[in-house]
Structure 1
Amino acid sequence: MAAFDAVVILFAGMAAGAMNAVVGAGTLITFPTLLALGFPPVVANVSNTVGLVPGAVTGAYGFRATLRGQTHLLWRLATASAIGGIIGGALLLVLPPEAFEQVIPPLLLLSAVLAAAQPRVAAWVTRRRAARVPETAPDPDAPVEGPPATVTPGVALYAIVFSTGIYGGYFGAAQGVILLAVLGIFVAGGMPQVNGIKNVLAGVANLVSASLFIAIADVDWRVAGLVAIGATIGGGLGSRYGRRLPAGPLRALVVLVALVAAAWQFAT
């Protein structure tokens, strides 16, 4: 690997880690970068998934204060996400590589649309938070003092989280945006709480699919290592300073990268 390529992958990993902690869709930075550098799509996806695990863990850990008192809820939802992630990862390995190459452009386009829609999704979730929390209640956006997250009973929540886990294990870009919308329907609590749960569920799907890839897939450990270092740094910075970062320009960059990558894949 050329030194220039290594530096590019490292910085792409940092950007992806920060994006995943702040607004999601970090894969839309690293995956197109690896494709542009000439890595085969399946190898790029597998190596990218493995590399993003430390960043996902760091990002979720950074939101730990918002998750206090939610252990039972997280275990149930994380189990559904984990099962889905294993299935999604298995589909990536079992299906022919040509199948993944064919769905890359539409998946990139879908991810770009979801990333672009993230502000509207977040605003909608915030409105639901305000509607569910009485005016006399503490600030719903307070990470610790706010009301604990609760779940509306029903199979639908677990089915959707399970489905997003499959998507996360297979590809995963903008999975966090989907989870944000789903949790906005079923979970009552502050926006930081919803975002913290989202980071955990996306990280679980990432972790279990990465474990499967490590066990039986062809991982490019140079790529995975560089992405891991970058994503760990970026995830820590994003979870700590995420509210201070200009999310709009970052999101616009992600959407632009996804659209360019999709157009390039359609053309080739």
Structure 2
Amino acid sequence: MTTEFEGLVAVVTGGASGLGAAITARLRRGGARVAVFDVRPDDADADLAVAVDITDDASVRAGVDAVVAAFGRLDIVVNNAGIGAQGDIAANDDAEWARVLDVNVVGVARVSRAALPHLRVSPAAAIVNTSSIAATAGLPQRALYSASKGAVLSLTRAMAADHIREGIRVNAVNPGTADTPWIGRLLASAADPEAERAALEARQPHGRLVSADEVAEAVAYLASPLAGSTTGIGLAVDGGMQGLRLRPIGS
């Protein structure tokens, strides 16, 4: 069992299910005490679960205060909470654009800025933001979602530049299509769920969906004190989708 996070305290937003739950479990296995921020925290398997709405600044600040009151410190923030969106540029109205950007982009800023005073005094401060393959590849019917995740990736680099001299590393993980409850719901709503799943698997060069545990391992690397020279990057966990261009099978 690795203990690279021994003595450290982490917050994982959206940590009660999906990628967030896998990230929480991995950090805890590494020795961290982990607090989950979630709008529905009851099912979270964590050292502390706090009901936090990342679209509300007072809620976020109260959550950070609760973590520091419980553990006396805060070293790692994983900004994982997010929501999906489907459709081309005409599919979503202004209210939906505002809602998705508020959660996926401004939510990252709210949680990070509330944590900053505590990260500045940590000997192993790290922020990891969940971006997406949608930030680096043009995906059909994902205009709003792609815009939000592209913003997260750009924000990550800007934050890394702003805070590197304060000893705070900031990185992003860019998952491909992952086997999560959100994808499960998306598949269930398709006219032919099996065909839709096969299409999602086929567009990733390794021929399958990314597992939540694989994303969690990448987050653990980016958050680890052992990765002290890694900052300002977007780490793709996408079966090669970002960079590989394979020839069709049999050609």
The normalised TM-score by structure 1 is: 0.29
Structure with the largest fraction of helix: 1
Q: Which has the higher contact order (CA 8 A, sep 6+)?
A: 1
The normalised TM-score by structure 2 is: 0.30
